[in-house]
Amino acid sequence: MLGRRGLRLPPVGILLLLPFLPPPLPPAAPAPHRAAYKPVIVVHGLFDSSYSFRHLLEYINETHPGTVVTVLDLFDGRESLRPLWEQVQGFGEAVAPIMAKAPQGVHLICYSQGGLVCRALLSVMDEHNVDSFISLSSPQMGQYGDTDYLKWLFPTSMRSNLYRICYSPWGQEFSICNYWHDPHHDDLYLNASSFLALINGERDHPNATAWRKNFLRVGRLVLIGGPDDGVITPWQSSFFGFYDANETVLEMEEQLVYLRDSFGLKTLLARGAIVRCPMAGISHTAWHSNRTLYETCIEPWLS
């Protein structure tokens, strides 16, 4: 009675065919989930604001949709003249929570003066998780050249005598003086520089070993600059090159900070973690809005 009224049995013919039927298909595997792009943090340069990076933001959204991009809106305009250690503290407080929410890591794109702020952040943050640090036309080995910015700030000074201002306690209160690097007054630079000489490891300080270890946590260092920049002087400073006492440019591998590996450049290069991307025909204010530059030198490293 159960076979007729409770459980409906299949016809006998089907039962005879069961041994010859193909096995049932396994359940379909779920579609592979594409990993999300790492968050991008953008740090502006001297006299800039977040609005300056609207084109860069568009490019990233087009090529890497869904990327969380944060253009930090701190120390804008004239506030960018504040001492760089003060800016490092402010930007550090802003990037820390972004990093904490991104265990897979973040990318830093840092323009001009902002590239020095970011390099200092990489030095002082013990647990940073920066995958790519993209230094966009930044005076990484310092600045020694007359620009409109300098003429506006110090109208009676030329580059040959600006050291008198910059290498004083008063001068070090201006961000530009924090990375003013006069190759003709190296002793004064080493003794007076409260920022660049420290993050370069050119002057002894108790945090040098820890800062070097922190800096070497970075996954990749991408250096971008070019001969038509018009502001960074020498332009090779974007690649850690700089003048000697005769104003002959020595490339990164000839610099003492590299030869001594004082903050980790030589180690990074040895492990293949330094990318140099020179681009001609781009002026200083166009680095973050040039589409070709973005596609060639920035986009490939935003994993």
What is the signed CA dihedral for 262, 227, 245, 209, rounded to 10 degrees? -10
> Residue 33: inside a domain, yes or no?
no
Q: Tell me whether residue 17 is in a domain.
A: no
In the block, residue with structure tokens 């330094």: 274
Tally of domains in the chain: 1
User: What mean pLDDT do residues 104-114 have?
Assistant: 97
Select from 166, 185, 162 the least CA-distant residue to 247.
185
φ and ψ at 228, to 5 degrees?
-105, 20
pLDDT for the residue 111: 98
CATH number at residue 78: 3.40.50.1820
> Catalytic: which of 229, 238, 262, 288?
229
Angle at 70 between CA 239 and CA 294, to 5 degrees: 45
Q: Is 135 a catalytic residue?
A: no
Instruction: Give first-to-last CA distance, the chain, whole Å.
Output: 67
In 3D space, the residue among 118, 116, 115 whose CA is nearest the CA of residue 128 turns out to be: 118
Distance CA 259, CA 27 (A): 60
Predicted pLDDT at 194: 95
| 112 within some domain | yes
- Residue 279 is classified by DSSP as -
In a domain, 83, yes or no: yes
In three-state secondary structure terms, 201 is coil
Q: Which residue has the tokens 């003492």?
A: 256
**Full residue range of the structural domain in which residue 283 is found:** 40-149+205-301
Give the pLDDT confidence score for residue 160 in this predicted structure: 83
Does 175 reside within a domain? Answer: no
Q: Which of 44, 107, 128, 284 is catalytic?
A: 284
| Of 141, 154, 149, 138, residue with least CA distance to 181 | 141
Q: How far is CA 269 from CA 38, 47, 117, 145, 261, in A?
A: 23, 32, 21, 28, 10
Residue from 48, 52, 107, 112 carrying the catalytic annotation: 112
Residue 15 within any structural domain of the chain: no
* Cβ(85)–Cβ(194) below 8 Å: yes
| pLDDT tops 60 at residue 268 | yes
Taking each helix axis from N to C end, the angle separating 113-124 and 84-100, rounded to the nearest 10 degrees, works out to 60
303 is known as an active-site residue:
no
Confidence (pLDDT) at 50: 87
Whether 85 maps to a domain, the answer reads yes
Between the alpha carbon of residue 146 and those of residues 45, 143, 160, 226, 229, the distances in Å are 17, 9, 9, 17, 13
Mean of pLDDT values over 105-125: 98
pTM, two decimals, is 0.86
- Of 86, 99, 107, 94, nearest to 126 (Cα)? 99
How confident is residue 271, by pLDDT bands cut at 50, 70 and 90?
Answer: very high
215 lies in a domain? yes
- Cα angle value 88/179/158 (rounded, 5°): 140
Q: Report pLDDT digits (tens) over 53-108.
A: 999 999 999 999 999 999 999 999 999 999 999 999 999 999 999 999 999 999 99
Q: Which ranges of the chain does DSSP label H, i.e. alpha helix? A: 12-17, 54-63, 84-100, 113-124, 148-153, 163-166, 175-178, 186-192, 196-199, 208-215, 256-259, 265-270, 291-293
For the question of residue 128 being annotated catalytic, the response is no
